[in-house]
Amino acid sequence: MRVLGVDPGLTRCGLGVVDGLPGRRLRMVAVDVATSEPGLDVDQRLLLIERRIEEYLEEHAPDTVAVERVFAQHNVSTVMGTAQVAGLALVAAARRRIPVAMHTPSEVKAAVTGSGRAEKAQVQEMVRRLLELEVAPRPADAADALALAICHLWRPAGALGAPQRAPGSLTAAQRAWAAAEQAARRRA
């Protein structure tokens, strides 16, 4: 299965493609960060990001797209830009009839590190190890996009659209992810 992870952001939007199956080695296919200059009008910034997302969908033909779920922050303008870019990814995938999943930051952190409260550096290092890369992906937006793809590939059995695996065959990180997801649902 090929997953495109999208870490939405108006200034930097992480894009990461990972191939993998449950219980099998993961392989990074591509990683990039689409950027837009803060001095441009918002419509032009969104257009630049949208074009790069479209290019990635065309070039890499993912089976699914995993997008970070936008959550409330104190900075309203940051939330607005993030939500707008997430919407671009959702529409671009829908236009191609590619299934989309959304994951919270704590779900993604738990999936790759075993802790929903992991720091950015921990996520980058675990992405490096899981994908057997020489160096950790930089900037953090690139690593986060790859982590989103990994999180989606490792969703526990029974989750909507999740790969099927034998009961009890989850890794420690996957069990932590499932616990973080359940906690997030209880808070919602």
Which residues are known catalytic residues? 7, 68, 141
Among 107, 188, 108, CA closest to 143: 108
C-alpha 154: how far from chain center: 12
Q: What length does the chain have?
A: 188
Evaluate whether 171 touches 83 at the Cβ level (below 8 Å): no
Beta bridge partners of 27: 19
The SS3 assignment for 94 reads helix
C-alpha 160: how far from chain center: 16
- Positions at the binding site for Mg(2+): 7, 68, 141
C-alpha 134: how far from chain center: 21
